[in-house]
Chains A and B, each alone.
Chain A
Amino acid sequence: RKEVEQDPGPFNVPEGATVAFNCTYSNSASQSFFWYRQDCRKEPKLLMSVYSSGNEDGRFTAQLNRASQYISLLIRDSKLSDSATYLCVVNRDNDMRFGAGTRLTVKP
């Protein structure tokens, strides 16, 4: 079983839609959690950290449920520029483990 699992998608949504991505992790000792974004043929870049209380950055909301070992990312009012692969990342003792990513395509 992979340490970090994500639905690979693809998610194809129209502009303006709300879309949610889920991620589960297997190691309960994991300490910190993140979402990265990777554009096609590019390097991953940090989108946002995920805090236990939930956090929001503009149209993006991240949630963490430690009891269920579950992380989510919600994107509201999707833009064409949101099209990318979203990587769930879990950190334990400075060992960052990446999910395989969920691909999102936002269409006009």
Chain B
Amino acid sequence: DADVTQTPRNRITKTGKRIMLECSQTKGHDRMYWYRQDPGLGLRLIYYSFDVKDINKGEISDGYSVSRQAQAKFSLSLESAIPNQTALYFCATSDLLGDNTGELFFGEGSRLTVL
């Protein structure tokens, strides 16, 4: 089983619908992240959380919200989806980044299409 699990893996929805992407991890990491990937733009950080009580906006948080339900769970919500939120979404976890290991552990991705 994957250490970082995302659900759903694929979703097609309509403009205006509320969508939730869920992420769970078995790595025991405190830090969790949500990124989106678009062709030609690379991965961009939406939100991140360093522990259950800590939520921080990333580079592109507008139109998104998150919930850190437990150390192992971090969900991303689109309250009212719009077509330009069509993208591949990745959840990631890390232990510490300050020690230069730089290792983010990614889930397999959730492909979202908003019509």
**Which one of B40, B41, B43, B101 lies within 8 Å of A44 (CB-CB)?**
B43
Question: A33 contacts which chain B residues (CB < 8 A)?
Answer: 102
Partner-contacting stretch, out of B13-21, B65-73, B77-85, B105-113:
B105-113
Sort chain A's interface into a size bin: 20 to 34
- Residues of B within 8 Å of A2, CB to CB, are 42
A45-B106, A46-B102, A96-B104 known; A91-B97 Cβ under 8 A: yes
List residues of chain A with CB within 8 A of the CB of B43.
Answer: 44, 87, 98
Could you count the A-B residue pairs with CB atoms below 8 Å apart for me: how many are there? Answer: 52
Interface string of A63-84 (1 = CB under 8 A from B): 0000000000000000000000
The residue on A at minimum CB distance from B33 is A96
- B34 CB-CB contact with A under 8 Å: no
Please, which residue of chain B has its CB at the minimum distance from the CB of A89? Answer: B102
User: Which residues on the A side are within 8 Å of B101 (C-beta)?
Assistant: 49
Q: Residue among B42, B98, B104 with the most chain A CB within 10 A?
A: B42
| Residues B104 and A101 in contact, CB atoms below 8 Å apart | no
Rounded to whole angstroms, the CA-CA distance of A96 and B59 in the bound complex is 10
Partner of A96, one of B40, B97, B100, B108: B97
Known A-B contacts A42-B108, A43-B108, A94-B97; the reply to A101 vs B42 at CB < 8 A is yes
B102 pairs with A91, CB closer than 8 A: yes
| Distance (whole angstroms) from the CB of A69 to the closest CB of chain B | 17
- 15 extra A-B contacts, CB within 8 A, seeds A32-B97, A42-B108, A96-B45: A32-B100, A32-B102, A42-B109, A43-B109, A44-B90, A44-B106, A49-B100, A87-B42, A87-B43, A89-B102, A91-B102, A94-B98, A98-B44, A100-B41, A100-B42
- Between A and B, 13 residue pairs with Cβ closer than 8 Å are A32-B97, A34-B102, A42-B109, A43-B106, A44-B43, A44-B90, A44-B106, A45-B106, A49-B100, A91-B102, A94-B50, A97-B45, A98-B44
